[in-house]
Amino acid sequence: MQFRDLQKQYKELETEMNEAIRGVLENSKYISGPQVKELEQELSDYVGTKYCVTCGNGTDALAMMMMAWNVKEGDAVFVPDFTFFASGEVVSFRNATPVFYDVRQDTFNADVESLEKAIIAVKNEGKLNPRVIIAVDLFGFPADYEALQKVADKYDLLLLEDGAQGFGGMQNGKRACSFGDAATTSFFPAKPLGCYGDGGAIFTNDEGMAQYLSSIAVHGKGTYKYDNIRIGWNSRLDTLQAAILLVKLKAFKKYELDSSNIVAKKYSELLEGVVQTPRIPAGFLSSWAQYTIQLEDSKQRSELQKYLKENGIPTMIYYPKAMHWQTAFEGVKNYVECPITEKLCDTVLSLPMHPYMEEKDIQKVCMNIKKFMGV
Ligand SMILES: *Cc1c(COP(=O)(O)O)cnc(C)c1O
């Protein structure tokens, strides 16, 4: 059993995929080929933003937004304590200060009360200038942007959606990657919409911002590549990845997102009352980047993980370490306590999850968990 079976997906899409890749090879426009523009149009249509600017990966996408907003030394950027390292890394990369806030135990996403406490603590201290809230759509499930936007408005902060895991999800009819002042995503192979290498994108409704981002992605270009009007860098989605994503996006829209939701529903039915399963509040849709259960403590979790491994079932721990515990953030001040994150780091376990997962494999995973739990 695979944790995320990308081979099965390739087999399913093989004919169309080979055709798309061959098209790029025959055309030989490897950088900025026509598929890149086509993909950007399709992505922004699907997400519901005016513009989409593709780039090299999800970390670059976040870093480019930090550049676009001129986040700098002395600025505070609020980041969830329970997320992938990149969400906070890009803040320190700009010499700004990440301020970690806690998440909710039921959704794994932003706890707006903790966030607001962190903002007030920074303001009261008066040393840092609060600038941006980063919210993360963890495990495919959009953060509560209606609540987050209210906090952003109240304190006059920019809101950035890190939708690296959230592509395809929804809150009250609005797609993930359309929230806040800008949103980013990643096309790393294991994300809900993944390519065959690295890739990323930024979504915005602001034309000037889209132009600026397209410019910094190509060495701060002006009217053409050798007219350089600002300091940028090099971060492009290559044509091969764009062609691959066009095929994958079609499958994602047509059935993959639905299939992932069917797999998740089956898991939740079979594991109800056995372990704590993910809860999706009314009005939300998840794209199930991960299906993550919670155990009693780290001992029970490692025993279950070992038991499942012995029975041929791969699992992953996302994430074993809170952001404020990372060595790289040593010396970064904690403005609020993050007890939920600390607890989750000890208790979460992600199960095999992908749109091509067969019923018999779901049954096998759940049967083994039940056996382990003695129910
Ligand atoms: C994967 C991920 C990123 C980074 O994306 P890359 O394409 O790997 O650079 C950023 N934030 C979150 C929440 C992620 O899961």
Tell me, letter by letter, the H, E, C secondary structure of 52-103.
EEEECCHHHHHHHHHHHCCCCCCEEEEEECCCCCHHHHHHHHCCCEEEEECE
- Is 266 in contact with 62 (CB distance < 8 Å)? no
Report how far ligand 1's centroid is from the alpha carbon of 100 (Å): 17
Whether 267 contacts 362, CB under 8 Å: yes
Ligand 1 atom closest to Cα of residue 86: 10
Backbone region of residue 167 per phi and psi (left: phi > 0; alpha: psi in -120 to 50; beta: other values): beta
Beta bridge mates, 200: 55, 186
- Identity at 361, one-letter amino acid code: D
Spatial contact of 216 and 203, defined as CB atoms under 8 Å apart: no
- Section 78-94 average pLDDT: 98
Ligand 1 atom nearest the C-alpha of 186 is 7
CA distance 267 to 212: 44
Task: Report CA(66)–ligand 1 centroid distance (Å).
Answer: 15
Average pLDDT (191-206) is 98
The pLDDT value given to residue 225: 84
Other beta carbons less than 10 A from residue 154's beta carbon: 10
Nearest CA to ligand 1 atom 2: 164
- Please state the rounded mean pLDDT for residues 255-267: 98
List ligand 1's pocket residues with C-beta within 6 A. Answer: 57-59, 83-84, 86-87, 136, 162, 164-165, 186, 188, 198, 200
Distance of CA 147 to the CA centre of its chain: 19
Mean pLDDT of 321-342: 97
- The reported pLDDT for the residue numbered 128 is 98
Instruction: Give the other-Cβ count within 10 Å of 55's Cβ.
Output: 29
How far apart are alpha carbons 221 and 273 in whole angstroms? Answer: 57
Q: How confident is the model at residue 21 (pLDDT cuts 50, 70, 90)?
A: very high
Average pLDDT on 345-366 reads: 98
| pLDDT (average), residues 241-264 | 98
Nearest CA to ligand 1 atom 7: 58
Decide: 263 and 167 in contact? Cβ < 8 Å: no
The mean per-residue pLDDT over the stretch 223-249 comes to 95
- Mutation test residue for ligand 1: of 55, 83, 87, the one with most atoms within 8 Å of CB: 87
* Nearest of 218, 210, 215, 223 to residue 183 by alpha carbon: 210
Residue ID of nearest Cα to ligand 1 atom 1 = 164
Specify the pLDDT at position 103.
98
Tokens of 50: 């005016």
- Read off the pLDDT of each residue in 169-183 and give the average, rounded to a whole number: 98
Report the distance separating Cα 245 and Cα 337, nearest Å.
40
In which band, very low, low, confident or very high, does the pLDDT at 319 lie, cut at 50, 70 and 90? very high
Residue 27 tokens, joined: 């055309």
CA of 142 to the centre of ligand 1 (A): 15
Rounded distance from Cα 86 to ligand 1 centre (Å): 6
Q: pLDDT band at 13, cuts 50/70/90?
A: very high
- The arrangement of strands across the sheet holding 170-171 comes to 174-175, 170-171, 284-285
Containing 186, the helix (H) or strand (E) segment is strand 182-186
Give the separation between CA 249 and CA 191, rounded to whole angstroms. Answer: 12
Centre of ligand 1 to C-alpha 184, Å, is 9
Percent composition of the chain: helix, strand, coil (DSSP 3-state, to 5): 45, 15, 40
3-state secondary structure of 368: helix
**At residue 337, does pLDDT exceed 90?**
yes
Closest atom of ligand 1 to 60 CA is 9
Ligand 1 center to 164 CA (angstroms):
5
Question: Which residue among 84, 184, 318 has the greatest number of ligand 1 atoms within 8 angstroms of its CB, and so is best to mutate?
Answer: 84
Position 117 confidence tier, pLDDT thresholds 50, 70, 90: very high
Residue 186 Cα to ligand 1 middle (Å): 6
